[in-house]
Structure 1
């Protein structure tokens, strides 16, 4: 599955299913083929994603642990920016419609 996130305030954002599922779970949502993030929910959604990015970038406790080649910051930053712009324009972010 591929997610195509859309908002009238931004360009479209496409994510592979596994990464879109992960992002939705970080927002406390179950992955679904359709959905909406309302402007009122965007500050909390952005904060949740930024908290996940901060946790992902924390130094590993195990010296042998390696960071993945593409971290959460690279995967989620476009979503954070989309939410910021959509919130400023009081526009929802939708997918699957």
Structure 2
């Protein structure tokens, strides 16, 4: 399943369910078929994502470069870190806050 994030202040983007669920958890939202992050909730969502990114960056055990038995090297190259997944939403949230617009999503 895909989630489509939308805001009147930013371009839409689509995210895989697995990645979107992680971001929903970070910002404290339920991964429902549709939802909203209101303008009033955006500062907290931005802070939560930035805190999660700081934790990821400081976690020295959170690297995929470590060898894993029977791990496919090509799959390892395809790993998408949290900062890569969070960047589109973080940009949308900041642009939406600047223009006083809500962020919504649908499946």
* TM-score category (smaller protein): 0.7 to 0.9
Count of residues paired in the alignment: 94
Runs (5+) with no aligned partner, structure 1:
none
- Which residues of structure 2 form unaligned runs of 5+? 65-75
3-state DSSP of counterpart to 2:15: strand
Instruction: Tell me the residue number matched to 1:17.
Output: 17
Residue in 1 aligned with 2:45? 45
Structure with bigger gyration radius:
2
Report matched runs for 1:1-97 at 5 Å: 1-61=1-61, 66-67=63-64, 69-96=79-106
Instruction: Describe the superposition over 1:40-76 as per-residue Cα deviations: whole angstroms up to 9, x where unpaired.
Output: 1101100000111111111425xxx633732111110
Shift of 1:38: 0.5
More strand by share: 2
| TM-score in terms of structure 2 length | 0.80
When the two chains are superposed, the root-mean-square deviation of aligned CA atoms in Å is 1.7
